[in-house]
Amino acid sequence: MLSHGKTKMRPWCFAILAVVVPMTAQAEDLFIKASRVYTLDGPPLAPGVVHVRDGKIVAVAGELAIPPGSRFRDLGSGVLLPGFIDAASSAGLDGGRTESTVEVSPRIRACDAVDPSHSSLRRLCQQGVTTVHILPGTDNVISGLSCILKTSGDRKNRVLREDHGLAITTSSDPTEGNSSRNRPDSPYNRQPTNRMGVVWILRSEFGLATRTSTPDRAVLREVLSGARPVFCTSRLDTDLLAALRLREEFPMRLVLVGGQEAYRVRQQIAAAKVPVLLAPLSTSAGIGPESTETILNLPGVLHEAGIPFCLTGGDLLDQARFAVRFGLPKDAALEAITVQPARVLQLEQRVGRIQAGRDADLVALSGDPWDGTSRVLWTMIDGVIRAEEP
């Protein structure tokens, strides 16, 4: 219990915090009080206190006894949220997003090209994003392995998974640059030059992997055995259905990425129980990539259809606010940037909620998350504040 007497110790705590204890100290207890704590595990606590030690959340409650010698931070009217999780990002990838000279490269690893100090990762951290899933690009049909890392922290401990899922696509992206009109000896005189070829390459590769193994097909066999998830970029309704059809033919743990026209095939996606990582929401309705017809309330429509989905691609809080403006319930919007991506990335036991035992990844906002004037005060990763407004 946070007794009246102990509240009086607050100025003393701050003095220690500011003068003696360096910000990176982890072995000590830290208590953070906020006017609201969105635990994503039931309704928000108002007010709430979070107890952090050794990079983990020890406890969260409306009130907590604060032992002497503990650090204490009072956000006043500020609020606390779990660190946001960006489940589909290209942040940090340096030197090209795909190996475009080949169409099938399942062993190529995003983690080999991630620059941990990349400005894009710092920017995500400043926006409150603490965990990011980095996918290779879509210039080839089967592009490679994704990785998951924290947006900041010491290099040794930041990487949550070096090789997570396999990135594939049913979009027309891989057709770019390929043409039967190239010189016959050009490497780009190759399939696919349109979507029929894209789908065929996928069917062919997974079909061959059911019978034979090569180092590349070993990765596909991990997919077919269910050991490795697949992240398939599909934007048009036809391409989303093509991905579901591929999953019918070759059972796999499929996650759809992009999903601009998912609203058109929402019954089929809901029936397949496949989650969707929505591409960054367009702020104007109309035409999206590949001439997709976009709508403003895409997240709201998917929510009503019972499809699990995440908001991705940076600016997650702004995207959540935008989604709420057009019809997504607030709870669902927060889940779409915290709990849902944690679940899709199979990190539920570590991140996504403010709960005892989970990583101390927290975002402090200056006020109500749905107030457009509220801003990120600081972002904490594994118990250490890694971005703070100057």
Partner 1 sequence: MSAQNPWHGIGLSLAAILLATPVGAAEKPKLAIHVAKAITCAGDPIENATILVADGKIQAVGKRGEVVVPEGYQVIDHGTRWAMPGMIDAHSHIGGAMGDINEMVYQTNPELRVLDVIRPHNEQLKIAVAGGVTTITFIPGSGTNMGGWGALMKTGPGKLEDVLIRFPGVLKIAQAGNPERRGGEVGSGRMGMNHIIREQLREGMGYVKDWDDYEAGRRPDKPAVNLRLEYFKPLFRRQIPVLVHTQGYQVIMSTLRILHDEMNLKVIIGHGCFDSNLLSEEILKRGIPVMAGPRGFRYDPADGQVKGQVAGFADRGVKALGVNTDSPVVPQEELAFQATMAVRLGWNDEDAIRGLTIEPAKALMIADRVGSLEVGKDADIVITTGSILDPRHYVVEVFIDGRSVYDVKKDRRRF
Nearer to partner 1 among residue 58 and residue 295 (C-beta) = 295
Kindly give the residue spans of alpha helices, DSSP state H, lying in the chain.
4-7, 10-19, 119-126, 155-158, 195-211, 215-224, 237-249, 266-272, 298-305, 316-325, 330-335, 339-344
Residue 237 Cβ, how far from partner 1 at the closest point, in Å? 7
Q: What is d(CA 42, CA 169) in angstroms, rounded to the nearest whole number?
A: 36
Residues 6+ apart with CB under 8 A from 11: none
Q: Decide: is 127 part of the binding site for partner 1 (CB under 8 A).
A: no
Out of 238, 282, 346, 366, the residue judged to bind partner 1 by CB under 8 A: 238
Residue 275 Cβ, how far from partner 1 at the closest point, in Å? 21
Out of 149, 230, 241, 278, the residue judged to bind partner 1 by CB under 8 A: 241
Residues 6+ apart with CB under 8 A from 146: 110, 133, 134, 135, 136, 163, 164, 165, 166, 167, 231
Out of 203, 343, 350, 375, the residue judged to bind partner 1 by CB under 8 A: 203
Q: Mark residue 95 as left, alpha or beta (left: phi above 0; alpha: psi -120 to 50; beta: remaining).
A: left
Q: 26-54 burial by CB neighbour count: b if 16+ within 10 A, else e?
A: eeeebbbbbbbbbbbeeebbebbbbbbbe
Q: Decide: is 63 part of the binding site for partner 1 (CB under 8 A).
A: no
Q: Decide: is 185 part of the binding site for partner 1 (CB under 8 A).
A: yes
Q: What is d(CA 357, CA 347) in angstroms, rounded to the nearest whole number?
A: 13
Residue 155 Cβ, how far from partner 1 at the closest point, in Å? 42
Residue 87 Cβ, how far from partner 1 at the closest point, in Å? 25
Query: CA nearest 202: which of 237, 254, 164, 163?
Result: 254
Q: Decide: is 180 part of the binding site for partner 1 (CB under 8 A).
A: yes
Out of 172, 233, 312, 319, the residue judged to bind partner 1 by CB under 8 A: 172
Q: Decide: is 101 part of the binding site for partner 1 (CB under 8 A).
A: no
Residue 293 Cβ, how far from partner 1 at the closest point, in Å? 10
284-313 residues in contact with partner 1 (CB under 8 A) are 290-291
Out of 10, 122, 245, 343, the residue judged to bind partner 1 by CB under 8 A: 245
CB atoms under 10 Å from CB of 17, counted, come to 18
Q: Decide: is 253 part of the binding site for partner 1 (CB under 8 A).
A: no
211-230 residues in contact with partner 1 (CB under 8 A) are 211
CB atoms under 10 Å from CB of 186, counted, come to 12
Residue 250 Cβ, how far from partner 1 at the closest point, in Å? 9
The footprint of partner 1 (CB under 8 A) covers: 170, 172, 178, 180, 184-185, 189-197, 199-200, 203-204, 207, 211, 236-239, 241-242, 245, 248-249, 265, 267-268, 290-291
